[in-house]
A and B are shown apart, each in its own frame.
Chain A
Amino acid sequence: MSFPDPIAVFRTEAAELLEQVETGLLDLNHDLTDKEQVDAVFRGLHTLKGSGAMFGFEALAAFTHHCETAFDQVRKGIVPATHDLVTAVLSATDHMRALIEVPNGDHDAVSETLLAKLRAAVTAAGGGGAVAAPAAIAASAAPNTPAAPAAPATTTYKMRFSLPANSMANGTNPLGLLDELRDLGECRIKADQSSIPSLDMLMPTDLYLTWDIVLTTEQPRSAIDDVFIFVMDEMQLDLEVVDVPSAPAAAQPAPAAAPATPVATADPPAAPAVSSEHAPAAAKANPVADAKQAKSAENVRVPAERLDELMDRVGELVIAQSRLSQLAGVSGDLQLRAVSEDVERLSGELRDTMMVLRMVPVTHLFGRFRRLVHDLAIETGKSIELITEGETTEVDKSVIERLADPLVHLVRNSCDHGLESAQERVAAGKSETGRIYLTARQQAGEVIITIKDDGRGINRDRVRAKAESSGLITPNANLTDQELLQLIFQPGFSTAQQVTNLSGRGVGMDVVKRTIDALRGTINVVSHNGQGSEISLAIPLTLAIIDGLLVRVGNGRYVIPLSAVEECLELSVDEDMRSRGRSFISLRDSLVPFIRLRELFHTGTAPDPFQKVVVISTGSERVGLVVDQIIGDHQTVIKGMSKLHHDVATFSGATILGDGGVALILDVGHLVAEGQHQEAHLRAAG
Chain B
Amino acid sequence: MTASILTVDDSASIRLTTRVALSNAGYTVTEAVDGQDGLSKIKSGNFDIIVTDLNMPNMDGLTMIRELRKLPAHTGVPVIFLTTESDNELKQQAKAAGATGWLTKPFDPESLVKIVKKVLGR
Contacts and interface: CB of A to CB of B under 8 A. Distances in A.
Interface stretch (A8-16, A401-409, A417-425): A8-16
A6 B20 contact: yes
A279 interface: yes
A4 B16 contact: yes
**Most chain B CB inside 10 Å of its own CB: which residue of A47, A177, A233:** A47
A54 B107 contact: yes
What's the dominant secondary structure at chain A's contact region? helix
Contacts of B115: 263-264
**Most chain B CB inside 10 Å of its own CB: which residue of A50, A51, A143, A293:** A50
A125 interface: no
A205 B76 contact: yes
Given A51-B11, A233-B95, A297-B58, A265 B104 contact: yes
A169 B13 contact: no
A140 interface: yes
Contacts of A282: 89, 92-93, 96
Interface in B76-122: 76-79, 82, 84-86, 89, 91-93, 95-96, 98-108, 111-112, 114-115, 118-122
Contact of B119 (A40, A61, A171): A171
Contacts of A290: 63
B56 to A, nearest CB: 7
**Most chain B CB inside 10 Å of its own CB: which residue of A51, A169, A262, A296:** A51
A91 interface: no
Nearest to A65: B86
Contacts of A49: 84
A172 interface: yes
A296 B120 CA distance: 34
B55 interface: yes
A482 B79 CA distance: 69
**Most chain A CB inside 10 Å of its own CB: which residue of B10, B59, B114, B118:** B118
Interface string B35-64: 010000000000001000101111110110
Contacts of A278: 89, 92-93
B59 A293 contact: yes
Interface string A386-415: 000000000000000000000000000000
Contacts of B77: 171
B13 A13 contact: yes
Contact of B63 (A46, A205, A267, A293): A293
A610 interface: no
Given A3-B16, A49-B84, A141-B106, A176 B122 contact: yes
Given A175-B121, A233-B95, A264-B115, A6 B86 contact: no
B39 to A, nearest CB: 9
Given A3-B16, A263-B103, A275-B96, A176 B76 contact: no
B85 A47 contact: no
Contact of A263 (B89, B98, B104): B104
Contact of A171 (B55, B78, B96, B112): B78
A117 interface: no
A169 B11 contact: no
A55 B13 contact: yes
A172 B100 CA distance: 6
Interface of A: 1, 3-4, 6, 9-10, 12-13, 40, 43, 46-47, 49-51, 53-55, 61, 65, 69, 139-141, 143-144, 168-173, 175-177, 179-180, 205, 229-230, 233, 262-265, 267, 274-275, 278-279, 282, 286, 289-290, 293, 296-297
15 contacts: A3-B16, A6-B13, A9-B12, A43-B10, A43-B55, A46-B84, A51-B13, A54-B107, A55-B13, A61-B106, A144-B111, A205-B76, A229-B101, A262-B111, A282-B96
Q: Which 8 A-B pairs have the closest CB atoms?
A: A176-B121, A171-B78, A230-B101, A10-B13, A171-B100, A53-B106, A263-B111, A140-B85
